[in-house]
């Protein structure tokens, strides 16, 4: 990622001019080149739209019946149109019985992740689409599937302290998968969501 978390935070708080100056100073760029770098990094989507789609992913995550980690995903095309959405949960028609939801091993074996649900429900090619994932980067298994779909960018919030403890290893591997497969990924500071 070319932009720092501080620069992303400035962009999302509508303080683009300060972010541009920071990028110019750090990379010794002209104003135009700094704007192009920011434009390319956030994929032609205004920060207000990125925040809106992340908030949508957060809302969709609330629909999950998982008692410990509620995840949501939104897939958009490069014109800011929602292509698909998904949350983590058991397969369709499978009973959401509490004894299964609270049995960690059973729950992990039965749960379809939000990103996979969104990919399946899209039911169309996803070339050059963007996936917004809440509350964290997609796990390494979902990252591998995302690379196969043609999705060009993944946007997610940084891991909170409690999620870092449980998902830190998967986060590192997911980033490595995205980097090696040429998938752009942008980690947003939690503070822009009031977290």
The length of the chain, given as a count of residues: 195
Token couple for 189: 């500071």
User: What is the edge-to-edge ordering of all strands in the sheet holding 130-134?
Assistant: 82-87, 72-76, 130-134, 153-157, 184-188
The 3 state secondary structure assigned to 132-185 is EEECCCCCHHHHHHHHHHCCCEEEEECCCHHHHHHHHHHHHHHHHHHHHHCCEE
Q: Which residues of 149-185 are buried (b: 16+ CB within 10 A; e: fewer)?
A: bebbbbbbbbbeeebeeebeebbebbbebbeeeebbb
| Residue 32 bears catalytic tag | no
Of these residues, 85, 115, 171, 187, which one is catalytic?
Answer: 115
Query: What residues are annotated to the active site?
Result: 115
């Amino acid at each position: 990622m070319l932009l720092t978390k501080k620069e992303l935070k400035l962009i999302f708080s509508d303080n683009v001019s300060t972010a541009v100056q920071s990028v110019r100073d750090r990379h010794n760029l002209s104003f135009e080149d700094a704007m192009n770098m920011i434009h390319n990094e956030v994929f032609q989507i205004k920060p207000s739209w990125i925040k809106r789609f992340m908030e949508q992913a957060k809302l969709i995550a609330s629909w999950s019946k998982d008692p410990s980690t509620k995840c949501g995903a939104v897939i958009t095309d490069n014109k800011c149109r929602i292509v698909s959405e998904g949350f983590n949960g058991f397969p369709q028609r499978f009973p959401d019985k509490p004894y299964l939801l609270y049995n960690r091993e059973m729950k992990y074996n039965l749960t379809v992740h939000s990103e996979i649900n969104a990919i399946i429900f899209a039911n169309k090619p996803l070339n050059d689409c963007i996936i917004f994932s809440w509350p964290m980067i997609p796990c390494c298994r979902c990252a591998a599937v995302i690379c196969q779909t043609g999705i060009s960018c993944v946007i997610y919030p940084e891991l909170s302290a409690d999620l870092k403890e449980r998902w830190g290893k998967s986060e590192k591997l997911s980033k490595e998968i995205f980097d090696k497969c040429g998938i752009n990924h942008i980690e947003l500071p939690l503070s822009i969501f009031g977290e």
